[in-house]
Amino acid sequence: MSSILPKGFKLQPVMSSLTISIIGLPLFFSVMGWKPFFLFAWDPFISKWNQFWRLLILQLQFQNQSEITLASVLILLRLKGLERLYGSLKMFKILVLLYSYNLLIVTFLSFFLFFTFDFDIFIPSGPFGILFGLYYPFSRFIPETYVAEFDFTNATSLRIFGDGAILPLSDAFPVHFLFGILSLTEGVSSLIVSSIGYFIGILYFQNLLPLTDTSLGFLDPIYFKITHEKSFAREGRNNTTYNGVDSNHNASALDLDEENERSPSVEDNDTPVRSIGQEVLHTFTR
């Protein structure tokens, strides 16, 4: 597989939809005034108010704009290549499984810490676990395009860097750097959920978890129905465009025919056709 990806999200509908959701859902929830519903801690939301539905929506949206920007850039830079690697249908199932596993582990961890150590951990909202679950296959299966080596051996006479100080940097370095920033955006809480997501990614892509994408065969009709409707709508728009072009072309042809019929021909005109030079001479000889 070539490491050079096409621009944008061409032939990558799943990652395109994920990016649109990461950008669009926070905007929608902010306009509707629903962002406080995505705050979560076991006490008081679960222990007092029994709002278990907060666990289900916790991974739907990031709370601040920096996390939205980082996640979108990460998907656009390299994570979209995973859909090219696995295919759209399998990528869709992987996202569903990562969401489910993160939901179970985070719920169990917060429950265990609260009832065992009376420690109420704040869980930040956003698909941290999903993105960091994809971080493992990215670092393992997506090839690097280039590697630049910076040699600091002779950088100084004091030999601070030693005799063989060579710093290799690849095109994947910005991705690793942005993942590190994303894991620390909410402090220790985001670092915990990011580590959980990365650990789940290791277990899943090493085939150490009981449920895999082959267990989600019931999602195949749903996926194909959605993609079929989208492709059908796209074909309908294309046909409308082509028909519009053809009709405009036919209308233009009819207009030209009518103009030709109304305009007098050269043979019917008594005045002979003269060149531009003759017209100029005729003007000055008047």
Q: What is the three-state SS of 213-234?
A: HHHCCCHHHHHHHHHHHHHHHH
Instruction: Give the confidence band of 214 by pLDDT, cuts at 50, 70, 90.
Output: confident
In a domain, 241, yes or no: no
Give the residue among 210, 23, 236 at the shortest CA–CA distance from 15: 23
Backbone angles phi, psi at 13, to 5 degrees: -70, -30
Task: Tell the burial category of 99 from Cβ atoms under 10 Å away from its Cβ (0-12, 13-18, 19+).
Answer: middle
- Residue 65 in any domain: the answer is yes
Token pair of 28 as six digits: 């929608």
* Residue 199: per-residue pLDDT: 96
- Whether 161 is in a domain gets the answer no
Among residues of the chain, what percentage have pLDDT more than 70?
Answer: 72
Question: Terminal CA-to-CA distance of the chain, rounded, Å?
Answer: 79
Q: pLDDT at residue 267 above 90?
A: no
Q: What is the pTM of this model?
A: 0.74
Reduced to 3 states, what is the DSSP secondary structure of residue 205?
helix
Is the pLDDT at 258 greater than 90, yes or no? no
**42-68 residues labelled b (16+ CB within 10 A) or e (exposed):** beebbeeeeeeebbeebbbbbbeeebb
Q: Is residue 120 part of a domain?
A: yes
Check residue 273 and give its pLDDT: 57
Tell me the average pLDDT of the chain.
80
Give Cα separations from 208 to 50, 87, 90, 133, 211 (angstroms): 33, 21, 17, 14, 9
H-run or E-run covering 149:
strand 147-151
pLDDT, tens only, 135-188: 999 988 888 888 887 776 666 555 555 555 777 888 889 899 999 999 999 999
Within-domain flag for 22: yes
Flag whether 28 is in a domain. Answer: yes
267 vs 69, higher pLDDT = 69
Q: Assess if residue 232 is contained within a domain.
A: no
4 belongs to a structural domain:
no
Hey, what amino acid is at 167?
L
Is the pLDDT at 249 greater than 70? The verdict is no
Number of domains in the chain: 1
Alpha-helical (H) ranges within the chain are: 13-32, 53-57, 65-74, 81-86, 88-117, 128-141, 173-183, 188-205, 219-262, 276-284
Range of 56's domain? 13-134+174-226
Residue 84 scores a pLDDT above 80? yes
